[in-house]
A and B are shown apart, each in its own frame.
Chain A
């Protein structure tokens, strides 16, 4: 059964110092309720919005990166509706009508050799937050915290071009990486990226799912919704056009408690913000200032460092991993090995601990680890054990190796002694080995066993062969 999925993505411009229309801090997280506010973002009588120019630049950069058209003038509209999280009971946003457009429109983004069309990109203000004591269902009161009100938000609306929840994940990964590379949004901050999704099956009615709090939840919500709609169909019932909410603890979509009326937002141009003219010069300046983006960076990783496409892809999907790698590659010429350590081993930890930044490990650690293995000072197995320790402690690998007495035994003298002992206790195996070359490995295994894996396997094998040869 064919599926159509469209996205409405909201991302906060967390890199801004101030809110979209006033000088309150854009960093509202962790502050006491209603302390990060001023007369303007509280919508006090007589106040006027003052447009943050940097926000306009950031939003334009996002539009350009998503291959969208930009307007010759940018104007703001009021979206009027009553809700307690809106201090003015209207939201200053953008709108595409009457020859005026939002900051971006008609774009297209390639991801994983597929394409999604971008319908529009607009700059708007975030509302405040409703807070409930306990849960929304049981709380007797609704509390409102306006600390977030007025934070700059970029809304990205796609056409319903996705057919598979997995594609949504791939696209959102790419988008997150783009936003990180642009340096406009820290996508890992709680609530900095939100996603509404609409899903319809085989030409059926469209269902909208709101309240998806992170990109990673989107795929799960869509998968649930597809199977829900399928089972509704199998029961011979029709899927209703409705708004549902994603409950991330129960992992289900639920019908919104109140049936939302058909809202008439009475859009009209915001008289307090004069239209901003976009001359070509500004666009050119922004293009010049554009940092290296994920696609270009991936190619560079492949060409310059000889990484495989897959390894490079994994790195650039997360700007912090890519930066981590690049810093490591500066310290050690075997960049491929550094990349392999990051992608195959370190990434397992970063996934678990939600991001590399919460770990105490730095590129210099991974580089040293790679070097120790490359120089046969420790074995790969030992290196993996050491990694497990240092991700949390931040100790240098060489120190841990010393502490664990884990450095490889690679001097001939010590190894010869150990091999002599093994030959003494495994006489029949030595006899076999003299007949059959394949059983030599058994002797090596015994050597490794008696050194708890610390013997340099290459050198040990060489010495075993030498000793066997001397016997015959």
Chain B
């Protein structure tokens, strides 16, 4: 297994100097996938052309052609990111046979850098959930303890990394969906600044909150992958005017003199004692690296979950309206049905969590309640942005737990949606305010992973990655496990 856990950078170098063949490496990873999938179930669909594509990279290496920064690197892609010719299901029955006619911008960018798309990973249906249990294709298991959830909604991507089924992975993060599974699976996951990475081809759940982000087994890898996918995209008007970023070059510069705040509310009420303690320990380590640490409060945090779920569900109710079984996706045979009756029949195939969110979202947008819910939630969002902007005038970074608890047992929260929503308390703030946040492996309680979350100001990814890298150097925890 150890031979299959090379860093992306190392792997690409070896492929480029001929000491490893991409074809061979991909084939071995696929063998590994075959071996562990019955247990872990990271993937929904594998790319049948992966080996062929790897062979092409080898040929290009031999003929001296440009192969890119990720030449031959096997990448797992969350199955809500469109891949041309490769089934993209969103883990939903509504799209179980849907094959997109186009690539998401991030997929084009990765392939331009020579990456091999290994397959499409499991998620909660349409990315709604924190456990990857709400998948039409069955749950993904946490490789560290297969009786537990891998987190979600990018659970398949995180598990594939922890189980050595891929070198890099793409996730998407609407309220913590990259960071939560990164934390639960002891891997690194970054939610970039809103607008830094193109959403074109990411199937929308709550489009004002979410972004695609890189996941890997090291901060270095995450920085490399971010460098490859970041930047302005003419296909997404919400992308920022940023281009040709290199997040790897300054990653080793350390964090001497960096001012870090530790968020009081995130390490007090409702937080697992062990989790709180590991964050304090992490703070001490960061301090020993030359950073200064102070405790700070985010007053508007008490409204964060209410605001987040109101906005997210409102957007869900509109974004998912297009799945009506008429133009694409599940065809329920409209013969003999009037429009509304057919909509009812086709749309009953959403899973229970998706239905719940569509209904709540429809309610909060309805004319009598818009001002009471949606508008209020947006006001909270503005308030939170202002408060955070004030904090980042004084401080460079914030630290907090990624998740207030260790991974749940499978089935533990499935019938208690409110308890499940509560677990997002520490992650949603980055989505509501658009700032970047990373989860890095921090510690294990018994055999269960705990992640450290670092948040930064808008477009502070370079500093964020520098801090995560510095922490990683003094905090060696396992990132891969044999299942």
Is chain B found bound to chain A in the same assembly? Answer: yes
Give A contacts to B, CB under 8 Å: 39, 42-51, 78, 80, 82-84, 87-90, 98, 142, 144, 146, 264, 266-268, 271-274
Q: Which of A48, A49, A87 has the most CB of B within 10 A?
A: A48
Count residues of chain B with CB under 8 A from any CB of chain A.
44
The interface stretch among B110-118, B162-170, B215-223, B314-322 is: B314-322
B339 touches A84 (CB 8 A): yes
Chain B residues whose C-beta falls within 8 Å of the C-beta of A87 in the assembled complex: 322, 327
Whether B208 contacts A271 by the Cβ 8 Å rule is yes
Would B314 and A44 count as touching, CB distance under 8 A?
A: no
Report yes or no: B326 in contact with A144, Cβ–Cβ below 8 A.
Answer: yes
How many pairs, one residue from A and one from B, have CB atoms within 8 Å of each other in the complex?
99
Distance in angstroms between the alpha carbons of A78 and B315 in the assembled complex:
10
Residues on the B chain within 8 Å of A144, using CB: 326
In the complex, what residue of chain B is closest to A40 when comparing beta carbons? B235
**Judging by beta carbons under 8 Å apart, are B365 and A83 in contact?**
no
Given the known inter-chain contacts A44-B100, A83-B339, A84-B326, please indicate yes or no for A90 contacting B321, CB distance below 8 A: yes
Point out the residue from B81, B101, B199, B374 that lies within 8 Å of A48, measured CB to CB: B199
B83, chain A: closest CB distance, angstroms: 10
Chain B residues touching A, majority SS: loop
User: Which B residue sits closest to A42, measured CB to CB?
Assistant: B327
Please list 14 pairs of residues, one from A and one from B, whose beta carbons are closer than 8 Å in the complex, sorted by A's number. Answer: A39-B102, A42-B328, A45-B322, A46-B80, A46-B88, A46-B200, A47-B200, A80-B321, A266-B318, A271-B207, A272-B204, A272-B207, A272-B236, A274-B237
Contacts of A84 in B (CB 8 A): 324, 326, 339
A37 to chain B, nearest CB (A): 10
- Answer yes or no: B38 CB below 8 A from chain A CBs: no
Is B224 an interface residue when CB atoms closer than 8 A count as contact?
no
B340 within 8 A of A: yes
CB contact between B203 and one of A46, A88, A273 (< 8 Å): that residue: A46
B328 → chain A closest CB, angstroms: 7
B82 adjacent to chain A (CB < 8 Å): yes
A80-B318, A89-B321 as given contacts; A51 in contact with B237, CB under 8 Å = yes
Q: Answer whether residue B202 sits at the interface, using C-beta atoms and an 8 A cutoff.
A: yes
Q: Closest B-chain residue to A34, C-beta based? A: B327
In the complex, the chain B residue whose C-beta lies closest to that of A37 is B327
Given known pairs A45-B95, A46-B203, the reply for A89 and B362 (CB within 8 Å) is: no
- CB A272 to nearest CB in B, in angstroms, measures 6
Interface status of B90 (Cβ within 8 A of chain A): yes
Q: Which residues of A contact B234 (CB under 8 A)?
A: 50
CB neighbours (8 Å) of B100 from chain A are 39, 44-46
Determine whether the beta carbon of A45 is less than 8 Å from that of B237: no
Say yes or no: B374 contacts A45, CB within 8 Å.
no
Whole-angstrom CA separation of A95 from B236 in the bound complex: 23
* Given contacts A46-B100, A266-B366, A82 and B324 within 8 Å (CB-CB): yes
Q: Are A82 and B90 in contact, CB atoms less than 8 angstroms apart?
A: no
Chain B residues with Cβ under 8 A from A50's Cβ? 234-235, 237
B392 at the interface (CB under 8 A from A): no
Known A266-B317, A273-B237, A274-B237; judge A46-B202 contact (CB<8 A): yes
| Neighbouring A residues of B328 by C-beta, 8 Å | 42, 44
Say whether B238 faces chain A, with CB atoms less than 8 Å apart: yes
Q: Which residues of B contact A47 (CB under 8 A)?
A: 200-201
Given contacts A46-B201, A48-B236, contact A88 B326 (CB under 8 A): no
CB of B238 within 8 A of CB of A272, answer yes
Q: Would you call B408 an interface residue if the criterion is a C-beta within 8 Å of the partner chain's C-beta atoms? A: no
A39 touching B101, Cβ below 8 Å? yes
Q: Decide: A274 near B238, CB < 8 A? Known: A82-B343, A266-B362.
A: yes
**Residues of chain B with a CB closer than 8 A to A44's CB:** 100-102, 328
Check if B421 is an interface residue, CB within 8 A of chain A: no
What are the residues of chain A within 8 A of B444 when measuring CB–CB? none
Q: Contacts of A267 on B, CB cut-off 8 Å? A: 365, 370
Of chain A, the residue at the smallest CB distance from B95 is A45
**Of A48, A82, A266, the contact of B237 (CB 8 Å cutoff):** A48
Closest to B210 in A: A271
Q: Provide the residues of chain B in CB contact with A272, threshold 8 Å.
A: 204, 207, 236-238
Q: In the complex the two chains form, what is the Cα distance from A303 to B201 in whole Å?
A: 59
CB distance from B468 to the nearest CB of A (A): 29
A46 partner, pick from B82, B321, B362, beta carbons under 8 A: B82
Which A residues are in CB contact (< 8 Å) with B90? Answer: 45
Complex CA–CA separation, A388 to B235 (angstroms): 55
B360 at the interface (CB under 8 A from A): no
B367 within 8 A of A: yes
Complex Cα–Cα for A150 and B366 (A)? 25
Chain A residue with Cβ nearest B328 = A44
A46-B104 contact in complex given A82-B343, A266-B365, A268-B374, C-beta closer than 8 Å:
yes
Cβ of A45 and Cβ of B98 under 8 Å apart?
Answer: yes
Q: Does B375 contact A (CB under 8 A)?
A: yes
A84–B325 Cα gap in the complex (Å)?
A: 10
